[in-house]
Each structure stands twice: as C-alpha cells, then as structure tokens.
Amino acid sequence: MSMTLAVGGLIVGVVGVVLTIVFARKAERLNSIRKRLDWADLQAAASDLSQKIRADFNPVAVVTPGLSGATFANLLVTDFPGQPPVYVGIRTWKAADHSSGLSSESIRIETKKWIVEIPASVTALIESQGDILIVDDFAMSGDFLEMLRSEMVAAGFSPERIHSCSLAVTKVAIKNHKSPDYYWWIADDDEFYFPWGKAR
C-alpha cells in the first residue's frame, strides 16, 4: 500500500514539474508576442518597480521627458515616501508640423526622432544631494536616457545620484548597455501599444 502511494506521489510530482515547464514556456511565448500593455499592466509595473527602487533609494524628484512618461511616473510616485515632485519635459516629434516652442529656460536634448526640453528649474535639486529618478514609458535604443543623464551631469548633478526607469525596454537597448537601471517589460521592437497609443 505504501509503495503504491509512493509511486503515485512520484507520478503526480513528475506531472506537476512537466506542466509547470509547459505553462512557463507558453507564458513566455505569449509575452513575447504581446502587442498591447493595458492599465492593469501599468499598475502592476508601477507596483513592482517602485518596490525595487525603494529597496535601493528614495528619489527626491522624478524627471520625465513628456506626457507619456509622466503618465507612468504619476503611477510610480504614489508608492514613494512623500510623493516626490515630477518635472515634466516638453517632447516634440521632429516630423511634426508645429514648432517645438524652444525656450532658453530648459535643458534641450535632441535625438533622431525627438526634441525634448526639461525644465531648467530641475537644477535647483543639485543642492539637495538626493537621488533623482528619470522615468519614461519606453526605452527603444536607450540613447535619450544616456543623453539626459549626460546633460544632468553637465548641469552639476553627481552621476551616482542619477537613476533611470522605464516601463518597457528593447533587447537592443539592453544589448548595447543603454537600458534604464530599472524596467518592467522587454519588447522585441516598437510594434506594440500603450493605453495612450503606439510605442515610439
């Protein structure tokens, strides 16, 4: 009788391991072909990332290049002590017909696709000696994050005080060592959608 139970237990255990592997591979495949992140994903990402970030530091402020990054930053900062201020930049698509509204009172960054202006008032945080978190929705190449970090260092911030985070990142950015310090989802490319529109 005990031998039968032992054999039965062994079979159930082996079947359990096999099913775990099968379903894990299926979930991985589904995640790789995912084409849309919804609000539930964003809330889960904000919760997961804020927990990881808080384990390392508590930011005195968040800097984000535009409205899409600010949307995610807003979800993220609710879990930080004191809800640090969010400095929102103006991001203009280069191919757009309208003017970027350039201002001398900003930190200007130009990439292949974007012109981004970060409020110059962020430099007031240099005296705080606290950690700054750059937040964006998507890091395609990682070039923008690298450029913003360089501009902030040139403005007087210590490199070790600047951290970065994005909701999604590509394998290209990771491979080129330009990924943010914290990220939630790895995308193959920019062929997917956020709740506010296509990734770009």
Could you read off the pLDDT of 68-114 as tens digits, one per residue? 899 999 999 999 988 999 999 988 887 777 655 556 678 888 888 88
Q: Which amino acid is at 154?
A: A
- In the three-class reduction of DSSP (H, G, I as helix; E, B as strand; rest coil), residue 31 is classed as helix
- Distance of alpha carbon 57 from the chain centroid: 16
For the chain, the straight-line distance linking the first and the last C-alpha, in angstroms and rounded, comes to: 63
193 or 126, which is more confident? 193
Q: For 136-176, what is each residue's pLDDT tens digit?
A: 999 999 998 999 999 999 989 999 999 999 999 999 999 99
Contact by Cβ (8 Å): 176, 128: no
Specify the long-range contacts of residues 114-119, CB closer than 8 Å, at least 24 apart. Answer: 114/65, 114/144, 115/91, 116/65, 116/66, 116/89, 116/90, 116/91, 116/92, 116/144, 116/148, 117/89, 117/90, 117/91, 118/63, 118/65, 118/87, 118/89, 118/148, 118/151, 119/87, 119/88, 119/89
Please give the model's pTM, rounded to 2 decimal places. 0.77
Query: Could you tell me if 111 and 140 are in contact, meaning their C-beta atoms sit under 8 angstroms apart?
Result: no
Pick the range with the lowest mean pLDDT from 21-35, 50-64, 105-119, 165-179: 21-35
Is 200's pLDDT higher than 90? Answer: no
116: nearest Cα among 141, 136, 81, 90: 90
